[in-house]
Amino acid sequence: MRLHGFLIGQTETLLAEVLRLNGPADATTSRFFRAHPKLGHGERGVIAEAVFAVLRRRMEFAHLAESGTGSPARRMALLGLMQTAGRSALKPFVSEAESKWLDHVATIDPESLPLRIRLNLPDWIHQALAKRFEAAELAQLAAALNYPAPLDLRANPIKASRDEVLSALSKAGIEAGATPFAPFGVRVAGKPPLTKLDAFQQGWLEVQDEGSQLLCSLVAPKRGEMIVDFCAGAGGKTLALGAAMRSTGRLYAFDISERRLARLKPRLARSGLSNVNPVLIDSEHDAKIKRLAGKIDRVLVDAPCSGLGTLRRNPDLKWRQSPESVAELAPKQASILASAARLVKKGGRLVYATCSILEAENEAVVQQFLADHADFALVPAREVLAEQRIDLEMGDYLSLWPHRHATDGFFAAVLERQS
């Protein structure tokens, strides 16, 4: 859409609020738009995209905004708008001095900036990732995290095949194609309004990142089994598991948040599934869990985590999280995994997963669990993927990275209770 001058001021106001880091950026943005109901859909998109561009490249933009005319906050807003709307769109609405400054910024080679600024990662995250990647690949990962994620969908095989979903999208004028790895995955160009489509309303498709879909493939549920999604949230993985079970057996969706489980209900109604049982629990030690001990075939634990694998969608997390907040998560992750393990019958499967890219939340948690639970053994992810006929090169764990796989950052380990 065409940029209007007043959007610069609105962007600056929202950006200042978001950069206080008092809560999730998407929640702050939603509150701002509710308080400004006269802003149209397109105008909201321009403002939000500019603000999130600044969050992604905050260190770089703050460095560039150190010089120039006007306040640093306005210069940061202008850089975000230049990134998303383009310099030529801004020119009619800025002063001559600002115009010259934007022209100057456009001539700066990003490669000339100091590496730590160019990566746009806090030092503690940079140091953690530098232990895993050589400098060149770390730069590729950081660059991938600074671009918005594509929109991925999952075809619901209870209602329609992937080809039928692709055909429906094409007829609606939406450009889309199959994802490279997940068997039901669809990747859409842009951000079209899917909720208005008949295919969406009829439950043919759900929004779900390809990486999240691959986690469900590691669970590999079978018809007629008893399955638990231990931290179900709004139920994206629950729905994928239920569809893989062809709506047979029994699938429990546990969560401690009534609000999150409420968001599952309309999705469940569209899905056509009849085997899902949402269950509100008070903690990982709830009596409802104890009653199922040793009875469950497969358990998925998508554990609460830092969320740093989702920086393409939630760039504020790299500024809101800290080494201390990650350290506080580790005991909770271990407790949840140990509690979920009690549900698994002999010969059953336990999948521990996060959307984190930190070893402390991933491999370290699994290795400590295995040290404490001699009755569980690691099943190499590469073997499970091969059984599922998913052509994806992996080692013992599923480790997905934006720069390698074009998914969010995901980790998963498959654990089996020895019979």
- Whether the predicted pLDDT of 77 surpasses 60: yes
Rounded to the nearest integer, the mean pLDDT of the chain is 94
User: Looking at the structure, do residues 398 and 270 belong to the same domain, yes or no?
Assistant: yes
Instruction: Using the predicted structure, report yes or no on whether residue 251 has a pLDDT greater than 60.
Output: yes
Range of the domain at 201: 151-207
Tell me: pLDDT of 72 over 90. no
- 56 found inside a domain: yes
Is the pLDDT score of 119 beyond 90? yes
Of 120, 142, 161, which residue constitutes the final position of a domain?
120
Q: How far is CA 48 from the centre of its chain?
A: 18
Q: How many CA atoms lie within 13 A of 143 on its CB side?
A: 11
Q: Report how far residue 329's alpha carbon sits from residue 404's, in angstroms, rounded to the nearest whole number.
A: 27
Same domain, 308 and 217: yes
For the cut 80, the answer to whether the pLDDT of residue 70 exceeds it is no
Verify that 284 and 258 share a domain, yes or no.
yes
Number of domains in the chain: 3
Residue 252 in any domain: the answer is yes
Q: 11 with 60, same domain?
A: yes
In percent, how much of the chain has pLDDT > 70?
A: 100
**Average pLDDT of the residues in 28-46:** 93
pLDDT band, residue 1 (cuts 50/70/90): low
The reply to whether 102 and 173 lie within a common domain is no
Q: Among 71-80, 363-372, 393-402, where is mean pLDDT lowest?
A: 71-80
Does residue 127 sit within a domain? no
**What are the residues whose beta carbons fall under 8 Å from the beta carbon of 196, sequence distance 6 or more?**
none
For the residues 269-287, what does the mean pLDDT come to? 93
325-352 mean pLDDT: 96
At 186 the pLDDT is 98
Mean pLDDT score, 157-176: 97
- Whether 110 shows a pLDDT value over 90: the answer reads no
- Res. 191: pLDDT tops 90: no
> Is residue 143 domain-resident?
no
Mean pLDDT, to the nearest integer, of 273-288?
A: 92
Q: What is the mean pLDDT of the segment spanning 111-132?
A: 93
Catalogue the E-assigned strands of 74-169: 151-155
Ranked by mean pLDDT, the top range of 190-194, 229-233, 298-302 is 298-302
355 is catalytic: yes
pLDDT of res. 13 = 95
Mark whether 300 and 335 lie in a shared domain. Answer: yes
Together in a domain, 160 and 202: yes
Is the residue at 291 inside a domain? yes
Provide mean pLDDT across the span 352-374. 97
Residue 407 in any domain: the answer is yes
Does any domain span residue 139? no
